[in-house]
Amino acid sequence: MQDDNDPEALSEYEAKRLQRMEENKRMLASLNLPAMAHRSPRPQVTKPAGKVEPTRRSSRQQKRRVVAEQQARARQLEEQRQLERQAAQKQEREAQIALKRQQIELERQQQKLKREQQKEEEKRKKQKIRDQKAEQRRRLRIQQLKQIEDQRLKEWRQQMREQELQRRRELERLNEPPPEIVAQRNADVQKFIQEELDKQARLAKEKKQRESQLQVLATKKEMERTKQEEQHRQHPTTEVKAGSKPVITADQVVAAGTLELPMEFELVL
């Protein structure tokens, strides 16, 4: 009878089973699990030399041995399955633990990243506020400097005007004539103004008189013309020579200083 552990004598299933058993043994050894109690093999009774058992007894022993081997293999297979289940459970627990650790680490990294982002955001906001305040201070400073410059320019211009006014007053004071001459000039100016006013009043009065006289002459001339036309209608045979009367203008009348004209002159308005 060949050895059961010989790979050549075992089937493919038995070879794989033995390989799994070896892997499970190594895994169990790494897990440090308590060793399971195995039944100790029955001590075999040494057969006395020179005695041959009957064939029936050998057959029963062979059957018992086969049954024992089958039971041992069944127990070994059950142990193998139990080890595999334990290993699978352990791997699953380890996988769950590893997954949980990964999730915890991921959450920690996410929280860390979120805190860093919040810090960066707060930092940017604070920097933005500082920049805005700095810009406001800069603009306020520029405005204050401009106001100071405008005020200084205004004061300088006012000072220049005052100096110019003072200089002119000084020149006027130096060039100012004596008081009696100033009084005489003022009197002359007042006299000239009064004369001009009187002259304008006189001219206006004369103009008004001339206009009245011209109006009277025009009325008189119109009456004479109306009278002549009436006479002409009454005496159609009377001949009137055209242009027989001399012509005189209103300006000539005014220049002559009289308003009464001879009958032979005709007034042209």
In a domain, 162, yes or no: no
In a domain, 97, yes or no: no
Structure confidence at residue 124 (pLDDT): 92
Q: Using DSSP bridges, classify how beta strands 266-268 and 247-249 pair: parallel, antiparallel or unpaired.
A: parallel
In a domain, 31, yes or no: no
Structure confidence at residue 243 (pLDDT): 46
Residue that the structure tokens 């020149």 belong to? 171
Distance CA 17, CA 30 (A): 20
Q: What is the mean pLDDT of the chain?
A: 77
The predicted-structure confidence for 51-107, as pLDDT tens digits, reads as follows 445 567 778 888 888 888 888 888 888 888 888 888 888 888 888 888 888 899 999
Contact call for residues 20 and 80 (beta carbons, < 8 A): yes
Q: Is the pTM of this model over 0.75?
A: no
Range of the domain at 248: 184-234+244-268
Query: What's the total number of domains in the chain?
Result: 1
Which residue positions in the chain have pLDDT lower than 50? Answer: 1-7, 9-10, 37-38, 40-52, 238-247, 254-269
Structure confidence at residue 120 (pLDDT): 92
In a domain, 178, yes or no: no
Distance CA 148, CA 167 (A): 28
In a domain, 194, yes or no: yes
Structure confidence at residue 250 (pLDDT): 52
Structure confidence at residue 154 (pLDDT): 92
The predicted-structure confidence for 237-259, as pLDDT tens digits, reads as follows 544 444 444 445 555 554 444 44
In a domain, 122, yes or no: no
Structure confidence at residue 34 (pLDDT): 52
In a domain, 132, yes or no: no
User: What does the angle CA 62 – CA 64 – CA 67 come to, to the nearest 5 degrees?
Assistant: 110
The β-bridge partners of 267 are 248
Contact call for residues 34 and 42 (beta carbons, < 8 A): no
In a domain, 254, yes or no: yes
Q: What torsion do the CA atoms of 208, 212, 213, 219 make, to the nearest 10 degrees? A: 160
